[in-house]
Amino acid sequence: MKLEQITWDEAVVWRFLSGMAATDGVPPLSEHKMLRLGGAVDARTAAWVEQGRLVVVSVAALHEGDEPHWALEVATVGDRRQPSAEREALSAGESTVPAGAQTSLWVQRASQQEAAEALGYSERRRVLRMDGALPPDPAAVLNVTLGTVAGTDDEAMITVHNRAFAGHREASGMTRARLAELRSMPWYDSDGVITAEIDGHLAGFCWTKLHADGTGEVYLLAVDPDHRGSGLGELLAASGFGSLRRRGARQAMLWVDGDNESAIALYGRLGLEPTHANVEMAKERVT
């Protein structure tokens, strides 16, 4: 059956995606894409029906960091998750990306990955979700001053973040606008942004997120490269989870690049284990 693109209706699409999340137990699109539904200047959104029923939603977002590219995600209703139907949905999503643009495709399941491979994509990287019980509070470290973000200079946070994620495909290139966007999130809590100073200078920070179901997430962890290997990352992560516990969290989770062995080991020491993977796939150009 042929997909038919329809005029974007944000309320209808939100109901579609919310229903999919309730059925699957995981969001059908990343938070970055959800924030760009239906109107962001740096995104292309589209929806398709089959015999009048909404079955596919896609969002492509422009990343302008160290490696500019469009990142595409496609949400497909459960009864269309066979490789041939997934391939049709991915092709529809591809059609929304600017012609000739450097592009990546994020997939969540085996049928999507098989469809992407049939379209010429290959795996570029994977991001692991790790889950576990909330770890205990960390022991104090004499030369590190822990606090919250109140009073922290924005430029210092941007500098530490960009040093920590230099060269990262998506996380590089923090700006004041992106920082403001993060702070505008409905779940943002300044008490949940833990900072670490050494000798009066910001050395790292841990940004946390409390989910409505009681899951506590270390959303963003940045450590200045000058302090890598010092244990500061583990201290910040454990402090972030401690903050989440005090704010009512019952479980711990986070996302981490699958090839970041040191970070995976760090979170393993805190009791978290991989439970799910999202895969980024890429080819040279969309045609």
Mean pLDDT by 10 residues, the chain (287 residues): 86 92 89 80 90 94 80 94 93 91 91 94 94 91 85 90 87 87 90 94 96 95 94 95 96 95 95 94 65
**CATH number given to 4-126+279-283:** 3.40.630.30
Domain ranges of the chain: 4-126+279-283, 134-270
What are the tokens at 46?
């589209």
- What is the DSSP pairing of strand 103-107 with strand 69-76? parallel
Three-state DSSP class for residue 222: strand
Residue 226: the pLDDT is 95
Domains 4-126+279-283 and 134-270 in one fold: yes
- Number of neighbouring beta carbons within 10 Å of residue 43: 19
| Residue 285 pLDDT | 47
User: In the prediction, which pLDDT does 273 show?
Assistant: 97
CA atoms within 13 Å, Cβ hemisphere of 194: 25
* pLDDT computed for residue 229 by the predictor: 87
Q: What is the pLDDT of residue 157?
A: 95
CA distance 281 to 150: 39
Tell me if 25 sits within 8 A of 211, measured CB to CB. no
**Domain 134-270: which topology?**
Aminopeptidase (3.40.630)
State the residue for tokens 């009073």. Answer: 151
